[in-house]
Amino acid sequence: MSGAPRNPADDDSAGRSIWTRPQRGARGPAPTHSRDEIVAAAVALADADGLGAVSMRAVAGALGMAAGSLYRHLSSRDDLLDLMVDRCVGELRPYPAADGTWQDQFLLLARRQLALYQRHPWLPDAIARRMVPGPNTLAHFDACLGLLQPVRAGVAAKFEAIAMVTGVVSLFARSAAAAGTVTFDHVDLAAYPHLAAAFAEPPSAPPAEDLFERTLRSLLTGLLATDRPG
């Protein structure tokens, strides 16, 4: 049985996920493109034209190779997306040294996350899929837990808080990207009195600049009320 050629990329016995798997085999010819090159090309495509532009054929084409060849390096498109996410999360490094209250530090990190999401608008969507955390993502989690060390709360609460902050940051990124996108044109406002009144009002000032900071500070106190341990 089985003179069939096996593919290391979908070897379930030795390394089941993309993170525990050799980037290349030890026997054959050297790959013409490294894993990093592939992921970088995919990220460039996503930055330019969104996640939808990251098709196996497009990524392969950008590197001058055939679509099927990608499966020598990855076992699926999901793997590629996981790699893309982790690569970009790596841009959060290095993590700044401790300075100020833990709230201040967490807020600084959140700001850097926001900038990251604006640099790569597809990131929130890619993260929203169920994904297997890579080394950079784990490092990010670790750094967050480090910041939260002085907080007297259970780990479950801390995890929840970290996830929620990440989520809210992505909401801010999305709302900034979609500002003015939603259109109420050609809508009969007669049936919606409050909506009509809102549009009748003189255009108000744009949201305060410190909205991000204020929102996140409120969120943190709500999530990690320090007066109740565990």
Partner DNA sequence: CAAAACCGCGAACGCTGTTAGCAGTTTACA
Partner DNA sequence: TGTAAACTGCTAACAGCGTTCGCGGTTTTG
Binding site for its own copies (CB under 8 A): 16-17, 20, 125, 128, 130, 132-133, 135, 138-139, 141-143, 145-146, 149, 154-160, 163-164, 167-168, 171, 174-175, 178, 181-184, 186-187, 191-195, 197-199, 201, 203-208, 211, 214-219, 221-223, 225, 228, 230
Q: Is 64 in the site for DNA (CB under 7 A)?
A: yes
CB atoms within 10 A of CB 224: 20
Which of these ranges, 59-67, 117-125, 139-147, 201-209, lies near DNA under the rule CB under 7 A? Answer: 59-67
| Residue 119 one-letter amino acid | R
Partner in contact with 6, chosen from DNA, its own copies, none, beta carbon below 5 to 8 Å by kind: DNA
**What are the start-end ranges of the E strands in the chain?**
none
Q: Which of 44, 47, 62, 76 binds DNA (CB under 7 A)?
A: 76
Q: Max CA-CA distance within the chain?
A: 78
Pick 2 or 149: Cβ nearer its own copies: 149
How far CA 212 is from CA of 129, 169, 207, in Å, comes to: 25, 8, 10
Q: Which of 30, 97, 182, 208 binds DNA (CB under 7 A)?
A: 30
Number of residues that make up the chain: 230
Helix axes 155-177, 135-147, angle to 10 degrees: 110
Q: Is 6 in the site for DNA (CB under 7 A)?
A: yes
CB–CB of 17/134 below 8 Å? Answer: no
| Residue 117 one-letter amino acid | Y
Q: Is 31 in the site for DNA (CB under 7 A)?
A: yes
3-class secondary-structure state, position 127: helix
d(CA 72, CA 177): 36
d(CA 164, CA 144): 12
Tokens of 153: 């709360």
The CB-of-3 to its own copies minimum distance in angstroms stands at 31
Q: Is 111 in the site for DNA (CB under 7 A)?
A: no
- Match 């996108």 to its residue by tokens: 181
The CB-of-80 to DNA minimum distance in angstroms stands at 8
The CB-of-198 to its own copies minimum distance in angstroms stands at 4
Partner in contact with 67, chosen from its own copies, DNA, none, beta carbon below 5 to 8 Å by kind: DNA
Partner in contact with 65, chosen from its own copies, DNA, none, beta carbon below 5 to 8 Å by kind: DNA
Partner in contact with 27, chosen from its own copies, DNA, none, beta carbon below 5 to 8 Å by kind: DNA
CB–CB of 122/48 below 8 Å? Answer: no
Residues that bind DNA (CB under 7 A): 3-8, 10, 24-33, 54-58, 60, 64-73, 75-78
